[in-house]
Structure 1
């Protein structure tokens, strides 16, 4: 059966909290009221920040913008995404987000059409590396937590919030009976942060390899995407 998050009166749950210089931070289930805002933030900031979206010129493809918006909305609806919040002038404010979904081996979640040539170019790159090394087969796990976008808003960068979000996957997974997480990290900065958070690389694909597979990427041997996992025993 497909994974279904139990969402009750105890939700949204807090997974991590800390203070720095008297400043309070919290990682929790993403507030349902922030779903629409999160999609808009992701669309605005990930065009240029995320490697595959940038190389695919996703911003210039209206069909892809619509398709990606629908995809993220479907992901958020599962209610497994993480929001990192702080307080600005006494107002609880979203500082960072990680769009996460739980899915089983062989399951295509969210099961919606990938619309737009540029978005398809991005999606097929992720599919390519996961077909090259299936994380479920590699780990022997049926259900794993996957992710399709981690973003720290520009005004909050420099405080290692990406690492905090990745680390918060562990209590989220443990609470929901999930024993591992897998993600395709597409740029050197995110790959470095994932390593610091304890993720292990299980597969790599250069942009040249993606281009040779028929996708529209530069034939560059020096840049690569990496499939990385972390297990929770």
Structure 2
């Protein structure tokens, strides 16, 4: 089945508010559902910075491969239609919100038809194929005894806002979201050492880890990626 956000969960909902201090200035931020009016700027932020900074994307040079880039953007665009993704914005009354971060989210159900990943584009095959391999390394349904879980296809924080703990806040915002949805687990493949460290601070635990050297032996080669990150991890957070 294709998961549908329950009508009983108000949309949009603000899931978290917090403050950060940067450059001597304190800013109030909020994390809420990504609404349609923010789809394009949020996708633009993902396309600009996730593709530049996420290790596999960075070292395979996805920005130089239009087909793979188009496939990634299509994945994001289709996923945000689920109305489950989160956006972090400055908490003001301005009509044009300042987007600070984005997390593209969806719910995977046990009854979903399992369609093996296939593509004719070699770059996209390496990028998504590597994530697919790691995500399938552990059966989340069996491990946690659930019929659905929340997962992600990318998280990004606008560069000038990095270093303020915003990534951790966005990950923690999954907790009230999951509770409202009746989802007891969130599991994600974290491909960067930095995001893995943030996930750990947010309470995620390691379920599976594979080094990029091992991935290369399986055909998923990202030249130079070890300069940034040694491994890719499947990590999960159980929602109490």
Using structure 1 for the length normalisation, give the TM-score: 0.90
The unaligned stretches of length 5 or more in structure 1 are none
Q: Does 17-26 or 143-152 show the bigger shift? A: 17-26
What is the aligned-residue RMSD (CA, Å)? 2.6
Q: Which residue of 1 aligns with 2:83?
A: 79
The answer to whether the Cα contact below 8 Å between 1:66 and 1:115 also exists between their aligned partners in 2 is no
2:182 matches 1:187: no
Change (3 A) 1:185 1:35: same
Rounded Cα–Cα distance in structure 1 between residues aligned with 2:33 and 2:120:
28
Rounded Cα–Cα distance in structure 2 between residues aligned with 1:122 and 1:73:
17
The CA deviation string for residues 52-98 of structure 1, in whole angstroms up to 9 with x for no partner, is 11122211111111111111101100010011110579553111010
Aligned residues: 233
The answer to whether the Cα contact below 8 Å between 1:64 and 1:116 also exists between their aligned partners in 2 is yes
The CA deviation string for residues 110-147 of structure 1, in whole angstroms up to 9 with x for no partner, is 99975732222111111111222222232222200000
2:108 matches 1:103: yes
Q: Does 158-167 or 215-224 show the bigger shift? A: 215-224
The 3-state SS of whatever aligns with 1:11 is: coil
The CA deviation at 1:214 is 1.9
The CA deviation at 1:106 is 6.3
Correspondences of 1:14-53 after superposition (within 5 Å): 14-20=14-20, 22-53=26-57
The CA deviation at 1:202 is 0.6
2:210 matches 1:210: no
The answer to whether the Cα contact below 8 Å between 2:20 and 2:164 also exists between their aligned partners in 1 is no
Counterpart among 123, 127, 132 of residue 127 in structure 1: 132
The CA deviation at 1:48 is 2.0
Using structure 2 for the length normalisation, give the TM-score: 0.87
The answer to whether the Cα contact below 8 Å between 2:135 and 2:188 also exists between their aligned partners in 1 is no
Change (3 A) 1:146 1:47: same
Q: Does 223-232 or 42-51 show the bigger shift? A: 42-51
